[in-house]
Structure 1
Amino acid sequence: MKIRHAKEDELKDIKNIWNYCFNDGESFVEYYFKDKYKRHNTIVVEDEGEVVSSLQLNQYKINLNNKIYNTSYVVGVSTLPQVRGRGYMKNIMKFMLKELYRKNQLVSILMPIDYRLYRKYGYEHCYDQIEYNINIEDLSSYKINGKLYKANRYNINELVDISKDFLKDVNGNVERDDKFYQSLLEEIKSENGHIYIHENDGSEGYIIYFLDGETMFVREIYYKNMDSLKSMLKFIYNHNTQCKKVKISAPINDKIKFVLDNPRTCDIKIKPFMMGRIINLKAYLESLTIKSNIEGSLNILVKDNYIENNNGVFKIQIKNNRLFVEKVNEKHTVSFNINTLTQLAFSYIDIDEAILLNDLKISKRDISLLNYIFKKRNNYINEYV
Structure 2
Amino acid sequence: MNIRYAKDNDIDSIKDIWNYCFNDEEGFVDYYFNYKYKNYNTVVIEEDENIVSSLQLNQYKLKLNSKIYDTSYVVGVSTFPEARGMGYMKNIMEFSLNEMYNKGQFVSILMPIDYRLYRKYGYEQCYDQIEYNLDVEELKSFKIKGKMIKAKDSNIKDLINISNSFLKDTNGNIERDQAYYENLFKEVKSENGHIYIHEDEKAKGYIIYFLNGDNMFVREIYYKNIDSLKTMLKFIYNHNTQCKKVTISAPINDKIRFILDNPKTSDIKIKPFMMGRIINLKGYLESLNIESDLSLSANIEVEDKFIKENNGIFNIKLENKKIYVEKIQSEADVKFNINTITQLGFSYIDIEDALIINNNKVSDNVIKLFKTIFDKKDNYINEYV
- TM-score tier after normalising by the smaller chain length: over 0.9
1:113 match: 113
What amino acid sits opposite 2:70 in the alignment? N
- 1:47 corresponds to 2:43: no
Structure 2 unaligned spans of 5+ = none
What amino acid sits opposite 2:354 in the alignment? A
What amino acid sits opposite 1:219 in the alignment? R
2:358 match: 358
1:329 match: 329
2:186 match: 186
C-alpha displacement of 1:155: 1.0
C-alpha displacement of 1:42: 0.2
What amino acid sits opposite 2:295 in the alignment? E
* Residues in 1 aligned to 2:356 and 2:253: alpha-carbon distance in whole angstroms: 24
Deviation track 1:283-303 (CA, whole Å, cap 9, x = no partner) reads 000001111100021100110
Deviation track 1:312-337 (CA, whole Å, cap 9, x = no partner) reads 11011101111011101111111110
* Residues in 2 aligned to 1:166 and 1:248: alpha-carbon distance in whole angstroms: 16
What SS does the aligned partner of 1:168 have?
Answer: coil
Q: Does structure 1 conserve the Cα–Cα contact (< 8 Å) formed by 2:298 and 2:365? A: no
2:370 match: 370
What SS does the aligned partner of 2:253 have?
Answer: coil
C-alpha displacement of 1:265: 0.9
Deviation track 1:167-193 (CA, whole Å, cap 9, x = no partner) reads 100000000000000000000000000
- 1:283 corresponds to 2:267: no
* Residues in 2 aligned to 1:378 and 1:145: alpha-carbon distance in whole angstroms: 29
What SS does the aligned partner of 1:169 have?
Answer: coil
Q: Does structure 1 conserve the Cα–Cα contact (< 8 Å) formed by 2:286 and 2:324? A: yes
C-alpha displacement of 1:68: 0.3
What amino acid sits opposite 2:114 in the alignment? D
C-alpha displacement of 1:369: 1.3
2:23 match: 23
Q: Does structure 1 conserve the Cα–Cα contact (< 8 Å) formed by 2:301 and 2:312? A: yes
Q: Does structure 1 conserve the Cα–Cα contact (< 8 Å) formed by 2:28 and 2:190? A: yes
C-alpha displacement of 1:245: 0.6
What amino acid sits opposite 1:291 in the alignment? E
1:147 match: 147
C-alpha displacement of 1:277: 0.2
C-alpha displacement of 1:201: 2.6
C-alpha displacement of 1:361: 1.4
What amino acid sits opposite 1:83 in the alignment? A
* Residues in 2 aligned to 1:186 and 1:215: alpha-carbon distance in whole angstroms: 22
Aligned pairs for 1:1-385 within 5 A: 1-385=1-385
Q: Give the structure-2-normalised TM-score.
A: 0.99
What amino acid sits opposite 1:296 in the alignment? L
C-alpha displacement of 1:370: 1.0
* Residues in 2 aligned to 1:3 and 1:21: alpha-carbon distance in whole angstroms: 20
The 4+ residue runs of structure 1 with deviation greater than 4 A are: none
Deviation track 1:98-134 (CA, whole Å, cap 9, x = no partner) reads 1000001000000000000000000000000000011
* Residues in 1 aligned to 2:94 and 2:47: alpha-carbon distance in whole angstroms: 17
Deviation track 1:24-64 (CA, whole Å, cap 9, x = no partner) reads 01110010001100010000000100011100000000110
* Residues in 1 aligned to 2:290 and 2:156: alpha-carbon distance in whole angstroms: 36
Deviation track 1:78-108 (CA, whole Å, cap 9, x = no partner) reads 0001111100000000000010000010000
Deviation track 1:360-385 (CA, whole Å, cap 9, x = no partner) reads 11111210111001100000000000
What amino acid sits opposite 1:115 in the alignment? Y
Query: RMSD of the TM alignment (CA)?
Result: 0.5
* Residues in 2 aligned to 1:219 and 1:229: alpha-carbon distance in whole angstroms: 14
What SS does the aligned partner of 1:290 have?
Answer: coil
Relative to structure 2, which stretch is displaced further, 366-375 or 219-228?
366-375
* Residues in 1 aligned to 2:140 and 2:9: alpha-carbon distance in whole angstroms: 54
What amino acid sits opposite 1:295 in the alignment? S
What amino acid sits opposite 2:224 in the alignment? K
How many pairs align? 385
* Residues in 1 aligned to 2:254 and 2:60: alpha-carbon distance in whole angstroms: 24
* Residues in 1 aligned to 2:157 and 2:54: alpha-carbon distance in whole angstroms: 36
C-alpha displacement of 1:154: 1.2
C-alpha displacement of 1:153: 1.1
